[in-house]
Structure 1
């Protein structure tokens, strides 16, 4: 009965960080880096508690599930958190038991298993839910198997010791499966809630545009018509300039309404199998003359067979907007790199990189929001539409930027089999 209590205690020490993260951290902390730091701290506390309250078998056997918080920290956090948590295990083990066979075994197990865990980290992050579960279960099995083998080599093999280690292996693998499924399910629910919130915002915009667009456009068209009639050859140059500016501003207002209406129009799904590389070539051809006006050169690295399922017109609209922004971010000229290729983990990767003015972290966080733009006369609606289009094709967008260095857009689409 005491063993069952110890097992349940170990599981409880794993549950707490997960629920604290999703109920407190994700709601109040916005930056991904700060989330990673806080989550690493929670996993570290979980490791210390698991090692402080182990399962005791006989005189020498002390087992715990420290591998699971280490695995979560390394797979979801990356290299830094993984190394930090491994160092924490070694230091705590040294302080707790001193230099001993158990300490040497801990160091050897981490030296053999941690590089493998970190090697699979990128594949894990780019995989879907059930593949993530399989990767995590495999890595937990690998960790326990290495620990069992090294302990047997150091201490010698015995039936009782092997039996205990096998029970521990089965328990750790089962608990890993359970917690990865739990973690991924909670993430899906949270993402679904965020999607519903965004959908509600878009619904409000759609209703507003549908109500006001027609009424606003009528007086605008009438005003534009009268301004054109006033544009007579006999009037002074200054008045001609005023009329020209008025017509340009009316046209700009009309463009803003069109961008609004892209939310209000019911979307028709005309998606088909397309080659993203060819679409990207078309976009580059469209904007090459525009780029020359800014003294910008567009350099291409486009591979064949980049097939996805999408609407070609909408995809072109989003790519044109992103590439146009890249060109406009370099008022003094420069280079823009565009690339399209398939990745080993089943995605089509589109990259657009510039040498422009770049963005701060705060500006990056606001990118894709309505009415947020770095342009003097921009509305931010174009980028918001682009984000919406890419997400509608189940694509993912990652943006890296540094001020006065440049910005890199990375778009990942699911590859067709």
Structure 2
């Protein structure tokens, strides 16, 4: 039995090892399908090498990958496993086919409903969540199994205890490894993002002012030339194009300047209320022009030290992006600022065009923008500002349904 148990655990570890070795840095949709396929094979192997007890009862760990896939991926990820599990169970045949079908169907219907709440938890809470769900599922399994036996002997109760202990231990091991992989990926991404922001900050501080001076001089001479009566209409058109390009270059330089280190003259110790109110007021005309209503709910009393100007620009960029995401349909831009366990939580939600998972992964990278004429520096500035106050940004979005930015700032 010990050998079979270790073999089943090895099967269950296989998808985790594959993810770490091959897909840790690039978990795309195609790679997810590969992991689902591998998990299906693992499920089959668990059923092919079950535990055979002295009482003659046979059971295995097939429901562990089934439950984990349901919690992490919802119906979309667990459906293939559901089909594989029942198809192979019918292929094996024997007693208990319909009990397995009914039980797996109940899990398939109920457990994925918990997926959204499960994903929103932190690593430790997700681990506890998975253990509790596995415990309840295993208890439910033996309760339903008990109806098939007229007398529940001591062997049955011994089996129940063993099964509960084994499932809890194995799920704890698998979940701890998965959470470690997730933690490593996030830590590495934060490190790379921090390095990028540092490099851009150093670069912008050293060259932005030097670029702005010749741009200002050139703009002035072009304005004088534009007012001359000796140039043709075509030449005036060329000057107009030149001025527009200079204006665009000036905007890019201004974006770069926001990455410089916070200035002590602008540092404040406050709750973000003044900055949110200021940005709300200056963005209302732009929102009204795009048929967007801005709704702000502020209930935070915690305070944090930050650069006032940078934080205002950060909120301007986020508000502007939310408004522009709804410019074709209109809607409501919701901003909620609350406090939770010594954290200031800022939630900015729109009902706009939304983003795909690939687009979310690219946010904050230099020169990446979902807008045709965007430079990507606006979102880079947002990530830089939040990084300066030791905060984090979580993005939830669905194409066609909107985007939510959840900013958590520790106090």
- TM-score, length basis structure 1: 0.81
1-structure distance, mates of 2:326, 2:100: 53
Aligned match for 2:97, one of 96, 103, 124: 103
Aligned to 1:79: 75
2-structure distance, mates of 1:377, 1:146: 56
2-structure distance, mates of 1:10, 1:301: 53
Aligned to 1:93: 89
Aligned to 1:250: 246
1-structure distance, mates of 2:92, 2:162: 24
Where do 1:156-167 residues align within 5 Å? 156-167=151-162
Cα 1:361–1:107 shift into 2, 3 Å: closer
8 Å CA contact retained: 2:317, 2:379: yes
Cα offset, 1:117, TM superposition: 2.0
Aligned to 1:15: 13
Cα offset, 1:6, TM superposition: 1.1
Aligned to 1:412: 406
What secondary structure does 1:141 align onto?
helix
Cα offset, 1:128, TM superposition: 0.6
Aligned to 1:384: 380
1-structure distance, mates of 2:373, 2:109: 50
What secondary structure does 1:154 align onto?
coil
2-structure distance, mates of 1:134, 1:362: 29
What secondary structure does 1:263 align onto?
coil
Aligned to 1:220: 215
Cα offset, 1:225, TM superposition: 4.7
Deviations 1:42-96 (A, max 9, x none): 2211111111111111363112111211121111111222233233222222221
2-structure distance, mates of 1:363, 1:133: 28
2-structure distance, mates of 1:202, 1:249: 26
Aligned to 2:49: 53
Aligned to 1:27: 25
Aligned to 1:193: 188
2-structure distance, mates of 1:372, 1:229: 36
8 Å CA contact retained: 2:208, 2:253: yes
Cα offset, 1:375, TM superposition: 4.9
8 Å CA contact retained: 2:271, 2:300: no
Aligned match for 1:42, one of 21, 29, 38: 38
1-structure distance, mates of 2:292, 2:186: 36
Where do 1:231-250 residues align within 5 Å? 238=233, 246-250=242-246
8 Å CA contact retained: 2:355, 2:403: no
1-structure distance, mates of 2:326, 2:293: 15
Cα offset, 1:37, TM superposition: 2.4
Cα 1:376–1:167 shift into 2, 3 Å: closer
2-structure distance, mates of 1:281, 1:51: 60
Confirm or deny that 1:263 pairs with 2:263: no
2-structure distance, mates of 1:299, 1:305: 20
2-structure distance, mates of 1:70, 1:307: 44
Aligned match for 2:290, one of 279, 296, 319: 296
Gaps of 5+ in 1: none
Q: Which moved more, 1:20-29 or 1:144-153?
A: 20-29
8 Å CA contact retained: 2:258, 2:310: no
Aligned pairs, how many? Answer: 399
Cα offset, 1:382, TM superposition: 1.2
Cα 1:309–1:90 shift into 2, 3 Å: farther
2-structure distance, mates of 1:121, 1:362: 21
Confirm or deny that 1:207 pairs with 2:202: yes
1-structure distance, mates of 2:172, 2:129: 10
Confirm or deny that 1:124 pairs with 2:118: yes
Aligned match for 2:171, one of 166, 176, 183: 176
Confirm or deny that 1:400 pairs with 2:398: yes
Confirm or deny that 1:339 pairs with 2:334: yes
Q: Which moved more, 1:148-157 or 1:135-144?
A: 148-157
Where do 1:351-370 residues align within 5 Å? 351-354=349-352, 366-370=362-366
1-structure distance, mates of 2:397, 2:263: 26
RMSD, matched Cα: 3.6
Aligned match for 1:63, one of 55, 59, 62: 59
Cα 1:161–1:272 shift into 2, 3 Å: farther
What secondary structure does 1:60 align onto?
coil
Cα 1:208–1:303 shift into 2, 3 Å: closer
Q: Which moved more, 1:385-394 or 1:68-77?
A: 385-394
- TM-score, length basis structure 2: 0.82
